[in-house]
Amino acid sequence: MNYTFLPNTETQVSEIALGTMTFGQQNTEAEGHSQIDFALDSGINFIDTAEMYSVPAQKDTSGSTEKIIGTWLKKSGRRGEIVLATKIAGPNRGLEFIRDDLSFNAETIRISVEKSLQRLQTDYIDLYQLHWPERKTNYFGQRSFSLEEDDWNDNVHLVLQTLQQLISEGKIKHIGVSNETPWGVMRFLEESKKHNLPRISTIQNPYSLLNRSFEQSLAEISHYENVGLLAYSPLAFGVLSGKFLTGEAFPNARINLFPRFSRYNSDNAKKATVLYNQIAKDNGLTLTQMSLAFVREQFFTTSSIIGATDLNQLQENIQTHQIKLTQNVIDAINQVQELYPNPSP
CB 103 within 8 A of CB 130: no
Between CA 257 and CA 58 the distance in angstroms is 14
Between CA 117 and CA 334 the distance in angstroms is 43
Between CA 94 and CA 209 the distance in angstroms is 30
**Which member of 53, 128, 207, 340 is catalytic?**
53
Which residues 6+ apart lie within 8 Å of 195 measured at CB? 157, 160
Is there a catalytic annotation at residue 3? no
Q: Tell me how far apart the 2 most distant CA atoms of the chain are, in Å.
A: 56
Question: If you write DSSP's letter for every residue of 88-133 in order, what string do you get?
Answer: E--SSS--TTT-S--S-SHHHHHHHHHHHHHHHT-S-EEEEEE-S-
Between CA 131 and CA 55 the distance in angstroms is 13
Which residues 6+ apart lie within 8 Å of 183 measured at CB? 137
CB 63 within 8 A of CB 104: no
Distances (CA, A) of 40 to 34, 45, 220: 10, 6, 32
Which region holds residue 63: left if phi is over 0, alpha if psi is between -120 and 50, else beta? Answer: left
Q: Whose CA is closest to 106, among 188, 163, 173?
A: 163
Residues noted as catalytic = 53
